[in-house]
Amino acid sequence: MIFKVILIILIVILGLVVVLPFVLSIAGFNVLQFGSISGGAVAAGEGLLRSQDGGTTWTSAANSTEGRIRFPREILDFAFHATSSDILFIGSKGSGLWRSKDGGSSWQKVSDKARVLDPGADVYKVAVSRSQPQIIYLAVFQNNRGRVLKSGDGGESFREVYFVTANRFGVFDLYVDPQDSNHVVIATGQGGVLETRNGGRTWRVRRWFSEALTRMLVNPVFSGEILVTTSGKNLFKTFDGGENWADLNEGLQRLANARAEMEGRPSIQPSFSNPFAGGAFGKSLEALVADPNIFTTLYIGSQDGLLRSTNGGFSWERLDVLIPPEALPVKSVAVHPRNSATIFATALNQIHRSDDGGINWNVKTIDTKGKINRILIHPLKTDTMFIVLGR
């Protein structure tokens, strides 16, 4: 009798181990990936690294003080406080807003008193006002649509000041005028550049694009100068706050064709729908940053290397970092806030640094399982740097 019971139990276990996964796979469930991250997960504690000696040594800064709430798995944005070097913010994927009060040594999840900010929100952008640092704006995705939230008390509570008009569209970038905390510009997944000058009470459309907008740069000295990137990797610019726009893809196209001619390949013919169709720069525009000292100097990190423009994006040159063209994508770029000659570019787990404006480079490899998605220099303490890691 005991033998029969044991035999029945073994048959049931065998069915669960062998038959059930087969049935679930037919039904569309991937049981092998349950609880795991495809493509290789970032090891715990490695999502954020900090250097306090200008990038020579790096240590983990992914330290949560929240007990059972672990540090965010994916960081979407990293923001510095305007006046306090110790206060930092992280916008996360699925874990809301986080704050550090000790320069990044430890992090706490921000709990909104009014519960306007969902604890599980995707926070794509954190913008702290320079003129009134207690005012913070967030570009978030929660409850199935993008929204802009505003705090007047340093993040203790928030209120909603904008939401997109259709589900599943996000607000992906946000800019606060350094001189006027009521002047805010946003870029949305609906393709809109919108502006408010009264802190979010009313909004004005500056331009609708036919593609989602993914990134925005605004001149901190003259807010009418704005650059945007689209989901199709296209680049546009306005000098008058959005009334008229210039297509900057032509300058990139000229660089691509010059390279093709040098290598004996046919020139790339752009199409109306995608100026980079079949070309070098249509494959990947990973990063767009402006020199914090000279806004007309721009950098693009791409699958084809590091590019620089010194005339606001109308023409481009390739900088020869220590990576063969097309071998590795340049994922992020940073320029020293006080010295334009010092440039950082990252690829996989490598940091390339130049101290002479991109002529000579040295490279440092970081011992980590994750790829470097972003590199940042503290604007108030420039020896302090951060690396955001991802898959």
What value does the mean pLDDT of the chain take?
85
Query: For residue 339, what pLDDT is reported?
Result: 97
Residue with the larger pLDDT of the pair 92 and 279 = 92
Per-residue pLDDT, averaged over 129-138, amounts to 97
- Provide the sign of the torsion angle of the four alpha carbons 43, 44, 48, 49, taken in this order: negative
DSSP H stretches of helix in the chain: 2-14, 20-27, 249-262
Which three-class secondary structure state does DSSP give residue 382?
coil
Digit-coded pLDDT (tens) for 298-352:
999 998 899 999 999 999 999 999 888 678 899 999 999 999 999 999 999 999 9
Query: For residue 68, what pLDDT is reported?
Result: 84
Residue 218 has pLDDT above 80, yes or no: yes
Asked if 212 contacts 190 with a C-beta cutoff of 8 angstroms, the reply is yes
Residue with the larger pLDDT of the pair 266 and 48 = 48
DSSP 8-38: HHHHHHHIIIIIHHHHHHHHT--GGGTTS-T
Digit-coded pLDDT (tens) for 69-84:
899 999 999 999 999 9
For 171-175, 274-278, 386-390, which range has the lowest pLDDT when averaged over its residues?
274-278
Query: For residue 303, what pLDDT is reported?
Result: 83
Determine the length of the chain: 391
| Geometric angle at alpha carbon 174, from 212 and 286, rounded to 5° | 55
DSSP H stretches of helix in 186-285: 249-262
Digit-coded pLDDT (tens) for 147-189:
999 999 999 999 999 999 999 999 999 999 999 999 999 999 9
Who contacts 175 (Cβ-Cβ below 8 Å, separation ≥6)?
127, 184, 185, 186, 216, 218, 223
Q: Which domains does the chain have, with CATH numbers?
A: 48-64+284-391 (2.130.10.10), 111-247 (2.130.10.10), 249-282 (no CATH)
Per-residue pLDDT, averaged over 21-26, amounts to 32
